[in-house]
Amino acid sequence: MKILILQDRLRSGGTERQSLLLTREFAAAGHAASLLTFRPGGRLAAAARGTDHRSLQPFDTGLDWFAPGLGAAVSRARPDIVLCMGKTANAYAGRLQDRARREGAPTAIVATSRSGYRLPGYYLRSVRRCPMLITNSHQAADLLVTAYGLRRERIAVIHNSLVFPEPAATPSGGLSSAPSAAGPLDPGRATKPAAPAPAPAEEASRQVLRQRFGAGPATQVLLSVGMFRPEKNQRALIEAAAGLPAGLDWQLWCVGEGPTRAGCEQLTRRLGLGERIRFLGFQSDPAALYRGADVAVHASREESLSNFLIEAQAHGLPVVAAEALGNRECVVPGRTGWIVPQDNAPAFRAALLPLLGSSPEARRALADQARTFARSAFDPARQVAAYLEMFERLVRG
């Protein structure tokens, strides 16, 4: 098949990382896969090297929505499938499908919905004209039907693929029910015995990283990875952490950039937490930070399925997260992750404190369960196969 992935810009978000991963995986599966962006550049532009990638704007105008010559470019390419990723690309999906029908082209435009924010009218009008819409959680699919009136038979659920780290083979005996990408996640029943303690060299490397930020061997490191935007709600993490017991040795590492970072830094200073909370900026590969942390924390209000929670578990971190769309689908509640009510700092701390006080053996058992579950359930091979199966059905008509 000839597959074109459409994205406005390669900023540092989870959708953009999924676009790059899918472009590579479709090509590796033998398909003619290309990535077309509206704007050049972006934090992840370097990561697109080695893919068939080009941009419509000859230079970066700073306008996400400006897609000069988009219709003509798609017509010339004559792809079998156009996969629209992100709200801006999906705003063009309906027009592209209408044009393909007028021209008698067999191209199927596939829309997506990948976040929990309220969907604007122009987006809904656009995606309703497409033969299929993919969303990444069953909760999100239910919302599309009940709140927006989209047709259930035109909605498919394919969970996010794991980006960091590359998934390893799933060990036997763990949370390895290996569900289909479009089916509900079933954690299974068995638990694997605790993994052995880290090798001395691995532990030494971890401690060197932690020391860079003033964290000692006994420091409990909380990790948050995500763009600083209002809906990501890092302020709630800072406020919850501020109420941790006075004698507890802890740090919060916040990874990412965005418009709300300055306000979060100001709040940190006002609460007197400058030595506790570290703002580490954008990280093209945060794997080392995952390995250096103890617990992943997430307070986002608007999700569809959190890439961060999946990646954290894949690195062996148990997670505490506020309730948001899809969060219960990307953890095993009470075993790899704990979900608490939104904006409830006491509940957040109540879930967090037992993890911070657990023994090394208990911590390793949690890490093993989290790692096994995430690397099995969100293996890219599983999700890519689900995409390709759907595309083939659309191409066959």
**pLDDT digits 0-9 by tens, 301-338:** 988 899 999 999 999 999 999 999 999 999 999 899 99
CATH of the domain spanning 200-377, picked from 3.40.50.261, 3.20.20.370, 3.40.50.2000, 2.60.40.1180: 3.40.50.2000
Kindly state the average pLDDT of the residues 75-98: 97
Kindly state the average pLDDT of the residues 272-297: 94
Which one is predicted more confidently, 101 or 196? 101
Partners of 297 in the β-ladder: 320
- pLDDT tier, 195 (very low <50, low <70, confident <90, very high otherwise): very low
How far is it, in rounded angstroms, from Cα 351 to Cα 283? 28
DSSP reduced 3-state for 187: coil
pLDDT value for 141 = 95
pLDDT value for 244 = 96
Positive/negative CA dihedral, 376, 379, 383, 385: negative
Residue 164 is classified by DSSP as S
Residue 186 one-letter amino acid: D
How far is it, in rounded angstroms, from Cα 251 to Cα 265? 14
Kindly state the average pLDDT of the residues 176-193: 36
pLDDT value for 118 = 87
pLDDT value for 175 = 35
CA angle 118, 121, 124 (to 5 degrees): 85
Is residue 183 left, alpha or beta, with left meaning phi > 0 and alpha meaning psi from -120 to 50?
A: beta
- pLDDT tier, 198 (very low <50, low <70, confident <90, very high otherwise): low
Cβ atoms 352, 363 nearer than 8 A: no
Domain at 2-161+380-396, CATH class: alpha beta
Among candidate residues 114, 142, 138, 109, the one with its CA nearest the CA of residue 126: 109
- For 113-122, 232-241, 297-306, which range has the lowest pLDDT when averaged over its residues? 113-122
Say yes or no to pLDDT of 222 above 60. Answer: yes
Say yes or no to pLDDT of 174 above 50. Answer: no
Two tokens, residue 256? 């990412």
Two tokens, residue 255? 């990874």
Residues present in the chain in total: 397
pLDDT tens digits for range 252-278: 999 999 999 999 999 999 999 999 999
- pLDDT tier, 116 (very low <50, low <70, confident <90, very high otherwise): confident
Say yes or no to pLDDT of 205 above 90. Answer: no
CA angle 103, 108, 111 (to 5 degrees): 125
Say yes or no to pLDDT of 219 above 80. Answer: yes
Q: How many CB atoms lie within 10 A of CB 147?
A: 10
Say yes or no to pLDDT of 193 above 90. Answer: no
Which one is predicted more confidently, 104 or 181? 104
- pLDDT tier, 55 (very low <50, low <70, confident <90, very high otherwise): very high
Cβ atoms 375, 314 nearer than 8 A: yes
pLDDT value for 165 = 63
Say yes or no to pLDDT of 197 above 70. Answer: no
CA angle 94, 95, 97 (to 5 degrees): 65
Which sequence spans correspond to the domains of the chain? 2-161+380-396, 200-377
- pLDDT tier, 183 (very low <50, low <70, confident <90, very high otherwise): very low
Residues of the chain with pLDDT > 90: what percent?
Answer: 81
3-state helix, strand, coil in the chain (%, to 5): 40, 15, 45
Q: What is the mean pLDDT of the chain?
A: 90
Q: Give the pairing type, strands 319-322 and 337-340.
A: parallel
Residue 333 is classified by DSSP as B
Q: Give the pairing type, strands 155-157 and 277-281.
A: unpaired
